[in-house]
Amino acid sequence: MSAQRALIGYLAAVLLFLRVDLLFIAAYHLPGEGVPVSPASAWIRVQEMRRSTWFMELVWTSGTYAA
Protein backbone atom coordinates (compact mmCIF):
# COMPACT_ATOMS: atom_id res chain seq x y z
CA MET A 1 0.00 0.00 0.00
CA SER A 2 1.35 3.39 -0.90
CA ALA A 3 1.72 6.16 1.66
CA GLN A 4 -0.75 8.33 -0.21
CA ARG A 5 -3.46 5.63 -0.14
CA ALA A 6 -2.84 5.01 3.56
CA LEU A 7 -3.15 8.72 4.30
CA ILE A 8 -6.37 9.01 2.29
CA GLY A 9 -7.82 6.00 4.11
CA TYR A 10 -6.87 7.44 7.50
CA LEU A 11 -8.37 10.84 6.70
CA ALA A 12 -11.57 9.20 5.48
CA ALA A 13 -11.80 7.20 8.71
CA VAL A 14 -11.27 10.28 10.84
CA LEU A 15 -13.60 12.54 8.88
CA LEU A 16 -16.42 10.02 8.51
CA PHE A 17 -16.24 7.75 11.55
CA LEU A 18 -15.16 10.25 14.18
CA ARG A 19 -18.14 12.53 13.55
CA VAL A 20 -20.60 9.64 13.77
CA ASP A 21 -18.87 8.32 16.89
CA LEU A 22 -19.05 11.67 18.69
CA LEU A 23 -22.70 12.13 17.70
CA PHE A 24 -23.55 8.66 18.99
CA ILE A 25 -21.85 9.30 22.32
CA ALA A 26 -23.74 12.57 22.70
CA ALA A 27 -27.11 11.16 21.58
CA TYR A 28 -26.78 8.11 23.84
CA HIS A 29 -27.01 10.26 26.97
CA LEU A 30 -29.79 12.60 25.82
CA PRO A 31 -32.84 10.48 26.80
CA GLY A 32 -31.53 10.07 30.34
CA GLU A 33 -31.36 13.84 30.62
CA GLY A 34 -34.92 14.25 29.37
CA VAL A 35 -33.81 15.87 26.11
CA PRO A 36 -35.42 14.69 22.86
CA VAL A 37 -32.94 12.98 20.56
CA SER A 38 -32.35 14.90 17.36
CA PRO A 39 -29.28 15.70 15.26
CA ALA A 40 -29.39 19.29 16.50
CA SER A 41 -29.51 18.40 20.19
CA ALA A 42 -26.77 15.78 19.73
CA TRP A 43 -24.56 18.29 17.92
CA ILE A 44 -25.01 20.81 20.76
CA ARG A 45 -23.86 18.12 23.20
CA VAL A 46 -20.85 17.31 21.00
CA GLN A 47 -19.82 20.95 21.13
CA GLU A 48 -20.18 20.92 24.93
CA MET A 49 -18.00 17.81 25.33
CA ARG A 50 -14.62 18.14 26.94
CA ARG A 51 -11.85 18.24 24.36
CA SER A 52 -10.14 15.35 26.13
CA THR A 53 -13.12 13.20 25.06
CA TRP A 54 -12.59 14.30 21.47
CA PHE A 55 -8.90 13.47 21.79
CA MET A 56 -9.56 10.00 23.22
CA GLU A 57 -12.00 9.21 20.43
CA LEU A 58 -9.40 10.37 17.89
CA VAL A 59 -6.86 8.05 19.52
CA TRP A 60 -9.29 5.10 19.42
CA THR A 61 -10.11 5.81 15.76
CA SER A 62 -6.41 6.06 14.88
CA GLY A 63 -5.60 2.85 16.70
CA THR A 64 -8.47 1.03 15.00
CA TYR A 65 -7.27 2.20 11.59
CA ALA A 66 -3.69 1.20 12.34
CA ALA A 67 -4.77 -2.28 13.36
Of the pLDDT bands very low, low, confident and very high (cuts 50, 70, 90), residue 61 is: confident
What does the pLDDT read at residue 67?
A: 73
Say how many C-beta atoms besides its own lie within 10 A of residue 22's C-beta.
20
Rounded Cα–Cα distance for residues 5 and 15 (Å):
15
Report pLDDT for 64. Answer: 83
Q: What is the pTM of this model?
A: 0.76
Q: Is pLDDT at 66 greater than 90 in this prediction?
A: no
pLDDT per position as a tens digit, 6-56? 899 899 888 888 889 999 999 998 999 899 999 999 999 999 999 999 999
